[in-house]
């Protein structure tokens, strides 16, 4: 056709419906094309990593199609959306998850086989995306998977740190930290959106000017930084619906300081620009601890400022009436970290949209909801007023105004009660005035939730009782959950096959309530045999991994006893290792006849300590020193091994969890808000040895205490036990004395290294390790006894798996959607049958 006869734009929409095909040949061609054109490699250097990358890019192409279709559909239907604001997303690997959720496992498997690769091997080529510390960040990722699977119109927002969670090494038993520059080999899972940029201001000053509608405030000057969007598509399982996590990266603002430049200060002007890139450089590696650093507050504000620009821009596409905002937008705050977003939305409504105070405040509180994840005092964020005043001067003015009006409400409820005003105020008075971010989050939200029934009780009645008295309907519980896609289907293919076979359906993947039906077959010897062999397979897989990473050979017939999570005093890895020492000393003393009755164990630890958390790092050293002695003692070789797997992360958890026989959830009662690994283990048929803390309480209700090993002080006994400890009335268990003595005599290395640990127990055993020790040993003895009757053990394991419906993040997300956000599913009516 001569060019003049071509009609301009005639093909635009025709081409748009031309979707990628998902058959094996098309996938294979896609992989080869990406290796050639995206990676610029030839068949002569087509190694496993490039096969992984090529595959990842073909998956990404398909995700982009689904993403576009979903977002167009949402724009057209304009449903109410939820935005999940989280400073952390612990995503782990994406390739397997995306392929499974898109239902393309078999196609990818055969496409790659012909190219000379096993799909399962390529999963191992991927580096974990570790933009989170632990439970809080992983929860956000499980929630994103469920939201997409349930077809809720939802986006996650967060930060794109250049350095994720540090890589942990263990040298001479000590933790070392190496920066995790996770983007070094590129990241096929993100889409850079250079067209989505916003400017964020820091510092500067506020000027007041008179106007016909009252006084106006202009926030001017200071430093400007650009926020650039990076999108990670989140595919739902067996649906076209593909949601998004939008992460912000900081870049220098284009405006250049001409004065500095003309004054010959070119280099220092460039350096100032470079500083703005630092904002999203690094994830703060603290879990459950407030750091108080200005850069962290900068991260928080940068995050919410860009996010709100984006949310408001999207809202304005279809709406001009601000009263509609809370009917179209729900914002969930994942802990207090994004709380300054409450003030930022308020500022924009008042200063930029010129809405009156009361109306603007209504919009804000109807929009926001806040999830509390901890009641540990050291984790509660309180920013000095002086810091906020300097960094965000207009926000500080507004916080004062918000607090003033809030305190008027307090006086109405409790006239003349200064004590109430002081304890409820958003500002904490004292030598240094501070903004209590949790108070700000409660005042600025219509709903506050804890993350397990017991935790929510404590939030309401112990931590914020006066807020609960003021607003009884504001407080809710939303017990956490985890996604069965990643934590059963992908992590444990053997168990998935058993479920498919015995339930005669794979519906459990999205409707976990189906697993209840497994109980019918609990006495069937065939099921018991299959269960054993799957566990055995998973233990061998873990044993190989341990051998590769730690050089330790473990007996796969032994009981695998697993304790994996952040290293923290309240989580009490110390209680575990003291118990291990006792076990070791006992075996050493036994006669050969008695030894024949010993249950062989492999005790597995994994977890990172915050780099500045000296005591937690000492605990790591103690574990490794004990492991060193035990693992080199030929006498106990068949009975006991202790392994500390370094650099714990999501993909390592996917190998450890399915292989465990028991898992330790032994925090001091009242300290662990929920826990989520307890849920993953239960799904995988691992029995909990644990305290009645966090979500263990609800797991016990579902599974039955007789199918777990519950021990220890209860929450209501903690205050009394602490008092007893302070009064020095605790009688130290003789078995524990023997353990202490051995540490002091140097059985596990120079005693001076461990003296601070023993001192911490003797002088201020805040986490009550000594009082729970004898109860813990009793529970461990029960574990040994049950292990000796294998079929009874397996039945309990099956009961655990079949009682886990409630701990699916699908259940959690439905509850949030219906009881907090008021949103509904918006299923994409796909124009192409090949996708679902
Ligand atoms: O410590 C809590 C866990 O108990 C909980 O399961 C998880 C998810 O809700 O959040 C953890 N957490 C709490 N991580 N950081 C905090 C405080 O910022």
Measured from the CA of 673, which atom of ligand 1 is nearest? 4
pTM score of the predicted model: 0.97
The residue with tokens 């460039």 is: 270
Residues 462, 694: Cα–Cα separation, whole Å: 15
Measured from the CA of 672, which atom of ligand 1 is nearest? 4
H-helix or E-strand containing 208? Answer: strand 205-211
Residues 145, 225: Cα–Cα separation, whole Å: 31
**Distance in Å from the first CA to the final CA of the chain:** 38
**Which of the four pLDDT bands, split at 50, 70 and 90, describes residue 784?**
very high
The alpha carbon dihedral of 382, 386, 388, 391 has a sign of negative
pLDDT higher than threshold 80 for residue 698: yes
Predicted local distance difference test score (pLDDT) of residue 833: 45
Report CA 324 to chain centroid distance, whole Å: 32
Contact present, 463 and 375 (Cβ < 8 Å): yes
pLDDT over 90 percentage in the chain: 92
Residue ID of nearest Cα to ligand 1 atom 12: 136
Angle at alpha carbon of residue 503, lines to 500 and 509, rounded to 5°: 55
pLDDT higher than threshold 80 for residue 834: no
Predicted local distance difference test score (pLDDT) of residue 5: 75
**Quick one: DSSP state of residue 226?**
E
pLDDT higher than threshold 60 for residue 30: yes
Predicted local distance difference test score (pLDDT) of residue 7: 82
**Quick one: DSSP state of residue 834?**
T
What is the set of active-site residues? Answer: 373, 565-566, 571, 676, 680
What does the pLDDT average to over 156-167? 98
Residue ID of nearest Cα to ligand 1 atom 8: 136
Q: Please report how many Cα atoms fall inside a 13 Å half-sphere around the Cα of residue 825, on the Cβ side.
A: 18
pLDDT tens-digit series, residues 190-235: 999 999 999 999 999 999 998 887 889 999 999 999 999 999 999 9
259 vs 341: which has the higher pLDDT: 341
User: Does ipTM surpass 0.90 in this model?
Assistant: yes
**Which of the four pLDDT bands, split at 50, 70 and 90, describes residue 1?**
low
Burial of 644 from C-beta contacts in 10 A (0-12 / 13-18 / 19+) = buried
Q: Please report how many Cα atoms fall inside a 13 Å half-sphere around the Cα of residue 119, on the Cβ side.
A: 22
H-helix or E-strand containing 220? Answer: strand 214-220
769 CA distance to ligand 1 middle (Å): 21
Ligand 1 lining (C-beta closer than 6 Å): 134-136, 139, 287-288, 335, 373-374, 379, 451, 480, 672-676, 694
486 CA distance to ligand 1 middle (Å): 20
Measured from the CA of 455, which atom of ligand 1 is nearest? 4
Residue ID of nearest Cα to ligand 1 atom 18: 288
714 CA distance to ligand 1 middle (Å): 20
Residue 451 token pair: 């993350």
pLDDT tens-digit series, residues 648-686: 999 999 999 999 999 999 999 999 999 999 999 999 999
Dmax (CA) for the chain in angstroms is 98
* Distant-in-sequence, close-in-space partners of 620: CB < 8 Å, separation ≥ 6: 170, 173, 174, 175, 567, 609, 644
138 CA distance to ligand 1 middle (Å): 10
Dihedral, 33, 34, 39, 44 alpha carbons, nearest 10: -50
* Distant-in-sequence, close-in-space partners of 14: CB < 8 Å, separation ≥ 6: none
pLDDT tens-digit series, residues 85-99: 999 999 999 999 999
* pLDDT averaged over every residue in the chain: 96
Residue 652 token pair: 């390592």
pLDDT higher than threshold 70 for residue 613: yes
3-state secondary structure of 648: coil
Write down all domains in the chain, each with its CATH number in brackets: 78-93+128-480 (3.40.50.2000), 484-807 (3.40.50.2000)
* Distant-in-sequence, close-in-space partners of 733: CB < 8 Å, separation ≥ 6: 770, 773, 774, 777
pLDDT higher than threshold 50 for residue 11: yes
pLDDT tens-digit series, residues 743-771: 999 999 999 999 999 999 999 999 999 99
One-character DSSP codes across 276-303:
HHGGGTB----SS-----HHHHHHHHHH
508 CA distance to ligand 1 middle (Å): 27
pLDDT higher than threshold 80 for residue 17: no
Measured from the CA of 566, which atom of ligand 1 is nearest? 1
Residues 316, 404: Cα–Cα separation, whole Å: 31
Residues facing 450 on adjacent strands = 477
Residue ID of nearest Cα to ligand 1 atom 14: 136
pLDDT tens-digit series, residues 289-332: 899 999 999 999 999 999 999 999 999 999 999 999 999 999 99
């Amino acid at each position: 056709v001569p060019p003049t006869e071509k009609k301009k734009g005639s093909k635009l929409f025709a081409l748009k419906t031309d979707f990628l095909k998902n058959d094996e040949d098309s996938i294979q061609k896609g992989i080869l094309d990406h290796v050639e054109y995206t990676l610029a490699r030839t068949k002569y250097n087509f190694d496993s990593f490039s096969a992984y990358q090529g595959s990842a890019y073909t998956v990404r192409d398909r995700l982009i199609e689904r993403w576009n279709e979903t977002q167009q559909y949402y724009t057209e239907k304009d449903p109410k959306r939820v935005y999940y604001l989280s400073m952390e997303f612990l995503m782990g690997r994406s390739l397997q998850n995306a392929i499974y959720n898109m239902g393309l496992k078999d196609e990818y498997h055969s496409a790659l086989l012909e190219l000379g690769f096993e799909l399962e091997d390529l999963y191992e080529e991927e580096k974990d995306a570790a933009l989170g510390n632990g439970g809080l960040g992983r929860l956000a990722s499980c929630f994103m998977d469920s939201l997409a699977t349930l077809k809720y119109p939802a986006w996650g927002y967060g930060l794109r740190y250049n350095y994720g969670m540090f890589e942990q090494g263990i040298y001479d038993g000590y933790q070392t930290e190496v920066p995790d520059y996770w983007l070094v080999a590129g990241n096929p899972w993100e889409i850079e959106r250079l067209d989505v940029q916003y400017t964020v201001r820091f510092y500067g000053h506020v000027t007041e000017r008179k106007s016909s509608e009252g006084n106006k405030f202009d926030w001017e000057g200071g430093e400007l930084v650009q926020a650039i969007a990076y999108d990670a598509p989140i595919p739902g399982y067996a649906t076209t619906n593909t949601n998004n996590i939008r992460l912000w990266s900081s870049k220098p603002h284009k405006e250049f300081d001409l004065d500095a430049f003309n004054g010959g200060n070119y280099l220092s002007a460039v350096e100032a620009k470079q500083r703005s890139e630092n904002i999203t450089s690094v994830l703060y590696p603290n879990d459950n601890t407030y750091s108080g650093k200005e850069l962290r507050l900068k991260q928080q504000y940068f995050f919410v400022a860009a996010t709100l620009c984006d949310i408001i821009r999207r809202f304005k596409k279809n709406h001009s009436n601000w009263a509609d905002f809370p009917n179209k937008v729900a914002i969930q705050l994942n802990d207090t970290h994004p709380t300054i977003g409450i003030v930022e939305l308020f500022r924009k409504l008042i200063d930029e949209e010129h809405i009156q105070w009361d109306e603007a405040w209504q919009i804000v509180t109807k929009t926001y909801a806040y999830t509390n994840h901890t009641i540990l005092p050291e984790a509660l964020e309180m920013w000095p007023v002086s810091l906020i005043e300097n960094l965000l001067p207009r926000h500080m003015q507004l916080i004062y105004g918000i607090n003033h009006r809030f305190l008027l409400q307090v006086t109405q409820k409790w006239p003349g009660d200064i004590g109430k005003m002081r304890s409820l105020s958003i500002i904490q008075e004292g030598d240094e005035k501070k903004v209590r971010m949790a108070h700000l989050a409660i005042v600025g939200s219509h709903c506050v939730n804890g993350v397990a029934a017991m935790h929510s009780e404590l939030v309401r009645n112990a931590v914020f009782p006066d807020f609960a008295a003021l607003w009884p309907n504001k407080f809710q519980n939303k017990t956490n959950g985890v996604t069965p896609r990643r934590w059963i289907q992908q992590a444990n293919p053997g168990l998935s096959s058993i479920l498919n076979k015995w339930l005669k359906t794979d519906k459990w993947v999205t409707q976990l309530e189906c697993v209840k039906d497994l109980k019918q077959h609990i006495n069937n010897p065939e099921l018991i045999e299959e269960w054993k062999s799957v566990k055995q397979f998973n233990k061998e897989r873990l044993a190989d991994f341990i051998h590769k990473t730690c050089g330790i050979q473990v007996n796969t017939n032994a009981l695998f006893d697993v304790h994996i999570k952040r290293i923290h005093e309240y989580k009490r890895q110390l209680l575990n290792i003291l118990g291990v020492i006792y076990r070791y000393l006992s075996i050493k003393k036994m006669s050969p006849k008695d030894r024949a009755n010993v249950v062989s164990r492999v005790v597995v630890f994994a977890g990172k300590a915050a780099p500045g958390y000296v005591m937690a790092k000492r605990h790591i050293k103690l574990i490794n020193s004990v492991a060193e002695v035990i693992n080199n003692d030929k006498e106990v070789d068949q009975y006991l091994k202790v392994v500390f797997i370094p650099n714990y992360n999501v993909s390592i958890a996917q190998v450890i969890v399915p292989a465990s026989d028991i898992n330790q959830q032994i925090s001091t009662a009242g300290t662990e808000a929920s826990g989520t690994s307890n849920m993953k283990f239960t799904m995988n048929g691992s029995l909990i040895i644990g305290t009645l803390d966090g979500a263990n309480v609800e797991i016990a209700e579902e599974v039955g205490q007789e199918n777990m090993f519950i021990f220890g002080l209860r929450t209501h006994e903690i205050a009394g036990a602490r008092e007893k400890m302070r009064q020095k009335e605790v009688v130290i268990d003789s078995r524990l004395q023997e353990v202490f003595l051995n540490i002091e005599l140097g059985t596990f290395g120079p005693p001076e290294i461990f003296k601070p640990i023993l001192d911490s127990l003797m002088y201020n055993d805040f986490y009550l390790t000594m009082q729970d020790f004898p109860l813990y040993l009793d529970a461990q003895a029960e574990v040994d006894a049950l292990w000796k009757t294998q079929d009874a053990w397996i039945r309990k394991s099956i009961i655990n798996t079949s009682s886990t419906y409630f701990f699916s993040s699908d259940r959690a997300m439905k509850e949030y959607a219906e009881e907090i956000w008021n949103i509904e599913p918006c299923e994409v009516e796909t124009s192409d049958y090949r996708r679902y």
